[in-house]
Structure 1
């Protein structure tokens, strides 16, 4: 897998992604602790709202990012967006009201909604061979896992020295370092043909390609399944640890790390697995596993009355991480296979928007329903989402579907 780092352009971009995500992971832990500090046991509802705002911004802005930014301006735009994110992160320690959290999250995620699709679309332009790109996707998945593994572990260590407010400074440093690395990367030569038509029509083209391609409709359904499991972890970990298990700030970080361990183990094994099994097989197994885990957790919660133990929560979170990585990691291969090179930025933007629409459903369900009716009801709702997503994907994404859409 690591041989793909011999490509100097990819190596710099991957390192930029790595340091930015370390910072983002610190912010994830700090934001959960900030929500609990402001709202106590209702922190799940606050986090659910904040993350729903994030998803609304992603759904609305990300389709336009690839369509509106000229190819020759991608580098300065990416650098500017990193610096905006760094500046917003520095203001979060001074928040004293819940509404301020919502405003700053909207600003921070507006920049991320524009940054991420542009960044993701660069990788297949740099790595032309599918074998290299597959390994790049797995490495990218490992980088994302730092947000839920190494970053929480680092956060747990830092929390012995500083309050959680200090973690936001680490977030800002990560974004600044990312900007420096983007500046030093040579971008692919812009192709004029990829900018034909108005930004509006280019954005719609990405959506049309996506929704007219059966395997991508299956991918969207599996994104719903991934969002169901991920929302439970990211929204309710702090509530379970602080209110149900009696843990502290560091225990929140370590339980998030358990989810990351599972995801990282799966990402490490996927290049070998995908050489032997189809994307469809791997992702449908991941969807079935996610649905089964959530159903089992909901059943246990109802039967036990919410009396959870560390010995059950930790392996469950790890297994959820395994299923999550199996669902999301191969997605880039499907996108690359479904459009010509000039349409890839629009297709990645469409995937970013539509996948986060799934999270827009899952986050409020995990947060608001969990806070109002209990985590057992939230788990049952999320399990239903995962079951429906997996079933729809198995129906709409037929075996042997290798056609490229020409929408």
Structure 2
């Protein structure tokens, strides 16, 4: 893989300074990057809060508001619909703005929106409509945060350290996925689901505070005053869809996410109503994914070094497809272990895949196009999630929850076909 080298981290990015000459050369390249540490500290706690909400929001719908399978699926669809509606213009707008203020504002908007849930619950006025509005607002803010977050990272660490940086952030997300669901299940049992969501609101305030301390260079982008948002969106689309590897990665990830939307819409209801598990056990089961994700994040760089970036993408995608049938095969008794295996090893594969693909995208994209490239990819790969969520709710309501999981598994099995016919599968071809 050819890796265009971007600017190294300078003193403003925290990689140099009066102690730089005394640092051992063997140190991890990000150890002394204070701005990356600030991003990492904020994002780690924010991800923990998000994982608490992964359990608490659907349980608030099911246990507090008595929502059915379709309504839970609709919540999932609403939360991710912003990627389909705003993903493309968000990329163009973000490439016009300084990145740090957007990240801080997105965190604070999410904190306020989530904070209304426990307030409404304490007043006895929490409704399904409000829960839908909250996840919609959180989804919109997340679009802007994610587009700028992936575009800001090369400024902090330099392109030569992107795999290490993405690995560290993915490890934090995985550790949060390990601890968050269990903590979420405990908080739901102790305080009920609406009050557990308050932890996520606090985590976004924490994240916004740390990101506001980043002092890396963040100049306002220079743009053509005659250019329009539509033209800039078209440039991002053109870059992604004329690049043979990015086009195939978008197809593979978008296919997986569509069927993962089906899975996410029904899995909590399936575990509660079919397997008859309580909230604490559901949270503990989801923690298996955190263990797997952490394992994947820790080995991703070694896997890429050993077999190369293209092979690590293909291997992880195929591994996920092989594991997919374990989820619908889950039942009470010993077969509950199948869900643990699926969650654990599936998360390893997803973590390796995410680190390899995101790093590849950041490496090959010119800096002025990063926001639009990331937004285009997010539009495709996350825009399919709400469609999957809606279909998952319908399938769960009409065909049954286990049948919906089988549909999700079938689509996951098909998703690696895109990368298997891409240049990634041909030695020496990565474009």
- Normalising by structure 1, we get a TM-score of 0.88
Kept in 1: contact 2:178–2:288 (CA 8 A): yes
> Which structure features the higher share of helix residues?
1
Kept in 2: contact 1:63–1:203 (CA 8 A): yes
Q: Deviations over 1:300-353 (max 9, x none)?
A: 46xx8x888422222222122122223322122221233211111211111222
Q: Work out whether 1:315 is the aligned partner of 2:344.
A: no
1:163 equivalent among 192, 203, 209? 192
Shift of 1:201: 1.8
Query: Distance in 1 between the 2:339 and 2:258 partners?
Result: 17
1:89 equivalent among 114, 131, 153? 114
Distance 1:295 1:237, change over 3 A: closer
Residue 152 (structure 1) aligns with? 181
Q: Work out whether 1:241 is the aligned partner of 2:271.
A: yes
Shift of 1:392: 2.2
Query: Distance in 2 between the 1:203 and 1:342 partners?
Result: 13
1:385 equivalent among 411, 416, 425? 411
Shift of 1:294: 2.0
Residue 249 (structure 2) aligns with? 219
Q: Deviations over 1:121-154 (max 9, x none)?
A: 1001222242x21011111212322452221132
* Aligned-partner SS, 1:255: helix
Shift of 1:38: 4.7
Query: Distance in 2 between the 1:317 and 1:363 partners?
Result: 19
Residue 20 (structure 2) aligns with? none
* Aligned-partner SS, 2:415: helix
Kept in 2: contact 1:30–1:164 (CA 8 A): yes
* Aligned-partner SS, 1:188: coil
Distance 1:136 1:233, change over 3 A: farther
Task: Note the 1:69-80 alignment, pairs <5 A.
Answer: 69=94, 73-80=98-105
Query: Distance in 1 between the 2:214 and 2:86 partners?
Result: 25
Q: Work out whether 1:274 is the aligned partner of 2:274.
A: no
Task: Note the 1:5-404 alignment, pairs <5 A.
Answer: 5-38=31-64, 40=66, 42=68, 44-69=69-94, 73-93=98-118, 94=120, 96-130=126-160, 132-159=161-188, 161-190=190-219, 192-193=221-222, 197-224=227-254, 226-227=256-257, 230-231=260-261, 234-298=264-328, 300=329, 309-398=335-424, 399=426, 400-403=428-431
Shift of 1:238: 2.0
Shift of 1:269: 0.6
Query: Distance in 2 between the 1:370 and 1:289 partners?
Result: 26
Query: Distance in 1 between the 2:83 and 2:152 partners?
Result: 19
* Aligned-partner SS, 1:245: coil
Shift of 1:296: 4.8
Distance 1:292 1:247, change over 3 A: same
Distance 1:397 1:381, change over 3 A: farther
Kept in 2: contact 1:64–1:203 (CA 8 A): yes
Query: Distance in 1 between the 2:335 and 2:77 partners?
Result: 29
The structure having more radius of gyration, on CA atoms, is: 2
* Aligned-partner SS, 1:4: coil
Query: Distance in 2 between the 1:277 and 1:134 partners?
Result: 15
Distance 1:288 1:375, change over 3 A: farther
Kept in 2: contact 1:223–1:358 (CA 8 A): no
Q: Deviations over 1:83-112 (max 9, x none)?
A: 111110011232633232222211121111
394-403 or 269-278, larger mean C-alpha shift: 394-403
Residue ranges of structure 2 left out of the alignment (5+ in a row): 1-26
Query: Distance in 1 between the 2:33 and 2:110 partners?
Result: 27
Residue ranges of structure 1 left out of the alignment (5+ in a row): none
Aligned residues: 397
Kept in 2: contact 1:230–1:324 (CA 8 A): no
- Normalising by structure 2, we get a TM-score of 0.84
CA RMSD across the alignment: 2.6
Kept in 1: contact 2:65–2:127 (CA 8 A): no
* Aligned-partner SS, 2:219: coil
